Amino acid sequence: MIYKNRSKLYWINLSPLLLIVIILVSFSGCSNQGKSDELKPKISIVNVPADILTMGAYFLAEEITKKSEGKIKPKVYHSGVLSGGKGIAEIEMCQQGSIEIHITTTAYLANLVPKTSIVSLPFLFRNIDQVIGLTKSYSPVLEVINKELNGKSLHIIAWWPRGFRQLTNSKRPVKTIDDLKGLTFRVMNNPLYTDIMNVMGANPVPMEWSEVYNALQLKTIDGQENAEDVISTNKLYETQKYMTVWDYSTDIEVVLVSFSWWNNLTAEQRKIIQEVADASIDYQVGLLKKNISDLRKLIEEKGMEINYISEENKAAFREAVEPVWIKYEKIFTKQLLEDFMDEIQNY
């Protein structure tokens, strides 16, 4: 009896304390849930703020925040600040999930999935409209590439068109294929670009983009190749005298997500992000079309001499790169290459 009374007294005395603890834990749980509901993914890119691709990164961040009513608040990290300017390192960080969204080039992804280089084959596209058409439409070949990337813990939610990669150097005008001989050019860390330069008689040097400006200043390389927006925003006219418009290759920029992070989102969160990613393609197309002619004028005003390769002279370049096509047909498979060629003829 005494035991029961003591027990009763014990529980009566303890109940208020338990009640307080339960209330505090409940509020704590609600607070933590609220924080976990607000996503703050990182969007990384190695390009500088003035670049149209970085503008695209900010478009994604702002529109996702608006569309989610503030429940998803991405933050942009530009200029490669998360990796010391190393684009390939940021892809690896995205694979690991330490970067949720990364904007990068197909040229770098080819180190993981070689088929990705199919979009950069030399003299593949007739004009920029074909590149735009490819990125705005469903592409079975690009889907094959994406599925292979899924196996590498990555997923592409948007493909952005890029301008053609033009040539710059500090030594001499390049108007014919013979003018390339003996010149040293920085290329991306991608075997395709190394092979292209080699068969055309130039000396390729694979190099991270963050190292290029200093290399041009020190003249350890003679030149580089890139789209007009990169040439302009990185002020390459300060170290380069000549630009050659030859439209020889392009790479496609992709909005890449960590696949594990993507799969852990709710269906509604994925829907919001995907809809904004889809809208970002038109945004990029608008910037691209507006900038090409404007940037060439600016580059000339800054003192660079622009030379245009005639169709007649382009034939010699096309002939020179035929061994590259033969080599990469074996890597991509003949069927995939034929399917891709059929696709782009529709645009």
**Is 166-250+295-344 in the same CATH topology as 39-163+251-293?**
yes
Distance of alpha carbon 292 from alpha carbon 163, whole angstroms: 7
Distance of alpha carbon 169 from alpha carbon 50, whole angstroms: 23
Cβ-contact 174, 134 below 8 angstroms = no
Query: Residue 67 corresponds to which tokens in the numbers above?
Result: 């569309």
Query: Residue 31 corresponds to which tokens in the numbers above?
Result: 């607070």
Strands 184-187 vs 203-206: parallel, antiparallel or unpaired: parallel
CB atoms under 10 Å from CB of 189, counted, come to: 17
**Beta bridge pairs of residue 103:** 255
CA distances from 256 to 101, 151, 159, 270 (A): 6, 14, 9, 13
- 166-250+295-344 under CATH 3.30.1540.10, yes or no: no
Domain locations along the chain = 39-163+251-293, 166-250+295-344
CB atoms under 10 Å from CB of 230, counted, come to: 23
What pLDDT, on the 0 to 100 scale, is given for residue 9?
35
Distance of CA 150 to the CA centre of its chain: 16
Dihedral class, residue 44 (left if φ above 0, else alpha if ψ from -120 to 50, else beta): beta
CA distances from 160 to 22, 222, 242 (A): 52, 29, 28
Q: What is the chain's Cα-based Rg?
A: 26
The CATH class of 39-163+251-293 is alpha beta
What pLDDT, on the 0 to 100 scale, is given for residue 223?
99
CA distances from 237 to 170, 208, 231, 289 (A): 9, 19, 7, 21
What pLDDT, on the 0 to 100 scale, is given for residue 291?
83
> C-alpha dihedral over 287, 340, 107, 65, to 10 degrees?
40
Query: Residue 65 corresponds to which tokens in the numbers above?
Result: 């925040």
Distance of alpha carbon 107 from alpha carbon 190, whole angstroms: 6
What pLDDT, on the 0 to 100 scale, is given for residue 292?
86
What pLDDT, on the 0 to 100 scale, is given for residue 279?
98
H-type helices in 239-266, by residue range? 259-264
Instruction: With H, G, I as helix, E, B as strand and everything else as coil, classify residue 205.
Output: strand
Average pLDDT for consecutive 10-residue bins of the chain (347 residues)? 38 38 36 59 96 97 99 98 95 98 97 97 96 96 98 99 98 97 96 98 96 97 97 96 98 98 98 99 94 91 96 94 97 96 94
pLDDT (tens digit per residue) in 92-137: 999 999 999 999 999 999 999 999 999 999 999 999 999 999 999 9
Distance of alpha carbon 146 from alpha carbon 97, whole angstroms: 17
